[in-house]
Structure 1
């Protein structure tokens, strides 16, 4: 944004004009969300964020608000110092202390003011991003405002979507500024594309079946099952793949688990698959998307199956035991993934933080890297699409594209929900969706299914919620129709 401001000045838009526009946007946001013209405490730091807040304060005062200004730099506007901040009797606190480019720990009087504001119980409107949140990483730098509402400008920052920043923002509103398009283009010229994982990113690929389609038009997904006592996770993946849109789903099962799986499966097909059977089964080119890992077991068998699927040019979602099987030699996995790449990555990795640390110990240990940085660097290193799971799942591609997800609920933190996610991603791969968009769409659907169910969710509930997610996708597509 600093580069954009400087470029805008060369285009004839001064920083003063941008500050005035930001102040008007903040004041409008206050008027829309806080109806009573009461008392507002304005916390103003030294930078442009503080100037935005002061510009808003002048407008709010003219509209009838009782404005109290507490500023890092006292001036002729009858402001008081930050140390004098007292929220008693205030109806609103306007946070203009520290901007998104924060590069130090918050301490001293500013930290005290933040703690006092949070403890007051007064609603807080944060300008740009809650003070104390690093706009690049979403991390808290010592202390941070807990906002009811955040208004940012032109574009969101990663810190609005990455945790814990996302939880501290409250609802986020994006306001336009008179920023020339050329200025933003210059600012973003050297940046790797980063997106919110929202329908605009992949809507063109989220199509419903047509009347003329048959099941093979929607792809054939395969899920590898574990042994007799480890079949449940694979069945969760298989059902999610079928509910997620794949035309057919087959489970590859070892002989020891055939009867167990046959007892539970109806719409999902079943084939015997021992190590010696796999090469012959892979000759069927209709089998175009695979899941390996959930309940499969850790070891050489998983490594060999992974490498065989990739060598056959099939797209593969590798999770759980499949990931852990390569913890001693991750480069063997990465080499297999790079060999399999054609016009796009063939492999999708879906680690949680512990699995990620086993494959990428140096990246996991580097505290200077945000989750976004970690996923992006891991994807470039491995040649795979990276789905770094969590409440703020990040999806990254080797070409530098990345998306941050915001769907879901805390109830997803329960056993088996990751197995459902692998099946959902495989369903999109089976239908021919490009690998990055398939991962993004699967992650979004997974979170939306949880939202449709609500509290009390367990993993078996997620596939039953997918019809509602498909209806939501259909409605989004209808809204975009000419």
Structure 2
């Protein structure tokens, strides 16, 4: 499990560790990890040029001491000090190692000479606020286009919420220490982090409230048939989706469910003949262990939801059916909105959800007493108690018509197979992204191809 901790949790763990270490040892650990990551990005050290953007905090000290190690490897290191206060011991060490230190005053920064091969962002650490001061903005503008490595988090993002406000660093690589932070997993800040590399510095941390499943976690949670299993024991999922106007939604919802993860799929709706023609394994009305409702239901989605809820089984509520959710859902449920649908449910503007997805997903989960799966680049799965899993699998090509219908069906199959809603939603989201990556192979992908690749994604987990 990839765990993301808050600033308060990290600070407490660091303080406890420092009582057991010599003074300065923790910063030296961080600096060493940062320096080796920069060398990996450079490919070679000797003769390369690295620019450090240094603020007043400890991550500025991390950058300075990393600069010392780089200078000793033959890197030409220059540090721009963007504050009247800097880590003086780090400044002295870098100067002693042959690095160049420049104090930047006002908002005027000039790169001067050859563009650096790598810029190290040590401007603001995890204790900073969102946004940047003018001198930091000017420094970033002066080196625009150079590969950037952020120390702990990209400067200017909100670490505990994943929000951004105004100017911030967009890193190619982020080197973080001890644990991931919320901003590494939650957009929009996560999109500014680039590739995140974790350096273990020996922190003893509590349980995290924001996590990201890893392949081994998904493999452990996936329901697998017993040796003597039969189809009913493996779970039956029902699909109430599609309409005469939107028959494709039914076909795609069924395709997501009919991926072999449960024993049987039932379809009840207006396009049963088309569903059976495409999916001959699918049967009609009968007893189910879970329902999937709403995709392409149009004006009939409200009735679909009412009928499904009468069975008192776990239910995935998607698309058109979300408009009929006006209070706490009376069964274990998973709501699967995109930003616009969640905005309508919470009566806010879409931009507010996109700017603060974690806040709004948590609010919706508490309001409706259901697991909320907020679709996005990093989809968020949120429990009513505030726990969060962020999905980091997938590809930008997954932003395609019908992909959400496949996702709903897949999650429904996992519910029917016995997973709790929080696990079904997060495992389903992870598999959906993994299947899309397999189907895409770096290029365009359709929703039907994603559904067809779900078994391959499951097999890849078993092989790993």
Please indicate the TM-score interval, normalised by the length of the shorter structure.
Answer: 0.7 to 0.9
Give the match for residue 370 of structure 2.
384
Any conservation in 2 of the 1:239–1:268 contact (CA below 8 Å)? no
Partners of 1:143 and 1:381 in 2: CA distance: 33
Any conservation in 2 of the 1:101–1:136 contact (CA below 8 Å)? no
Q: Structure 1, residues 258-307: CA drift from partner, whole Å, max 9, x if none?
A: 44444433121234xxxxxxxxx4xx3xx111111011123xx5334424
State yes or no: 1:348 paired with 2:334.
Answer: yes
- Report the alpha carbon displacement of residue 207 of structure 1 after superposing the two structures with TM: 4.0
- Report the alpha carbon displacement of residue 364 of structure 1 after superposing the two structures with TM: 6.0
Secondary structure of 2:120 counterpart: strand
Partners of 1:214 and 1:321 in 2: CA distance: 34
Secondary structure of 2:211 counterpart: strand
Give the match for residue 399 of structure 2.
413
Any conservation in 2 of the 1:13–1:178 contact (CA below 8 Å)? no
- Report the alpha carbon displacement of residue 440 of structure 1 after superposing the two structures with TM: 0.4
State yes or no: 1:18 paired with 2:26.
Answer: yes
TM-score by length of 2: 0.87
State yes or no: 1:222 paired with 2:222.
Answer: no
Give the match for residue 472 of structure 1.
460
Give the match for residue 174 of structure 2.
150
Q: Structure 1, residues 412-468: CA drift from partner, whole Å, max 9, x if none?
A: 212111000000100110110111011001101111111111122111211111121
1:110 alignment partner, one of 124, 136, 154: 136
Give the match for residue 303 of structure 1.
302
CA RMSD of aligned residues (A): 2.5
Any stretches of 5+ residues in structure 2 without a counterpart?
1-6
- CA change 1:3–1:211 in 2 (3 A) is closer
Secondary structure of 2:462 counterpart: helix
How many residue pairs align between the two structures?
436
Secondary structure of 1:390 counterpart: coil
- CA change 1:5–1:84 in 2 (3 A) is same
Out of 33-42 and 231-240, give the one that drifted further. 33-42
Q: Which protein has the bigger helix share?
A: 1
1:86 alignment partner, one of 111, 118, 143: 111
- Report the alpha carbon displacement of residue 164 of structure 1 after superposing the two structures with TM: 3.3
- Report the alpha carbon displacement of residue 30 of structure 1 after superposing the two structures with TM: 2.1
Any conservation in 2 of the 1:22–1:153 contact (CA below 8 Å)? yes
Any conservation in 1 of the 2:223–2:414 contact (CA below 8 Å)? no
Partners of 2:49 and 2:241 in 1: CA distance: 63
Any conservation in 1 of the 2:45–2:70 contact (CA below 8 Å)? no
- CA change 1:244–1:375 in 2 (3 A) is farther
Partners of 1:158 and 1:421 in 2: CA distance: 25
Any conservation in 2 of the 1:42–1:69 contact (CA below 8 Å)? yes
Give the match for residue 37 of structure 2.
29
2:449 alignment partner, one of 453, 458, 461: 461
TM-score by length of 1: 0.84
Give the match for residue 39 of structure 1.
49
- Report the alpha carbon displacement of residue 352 of structure 1 after superposing the two structures with TM: 0.7
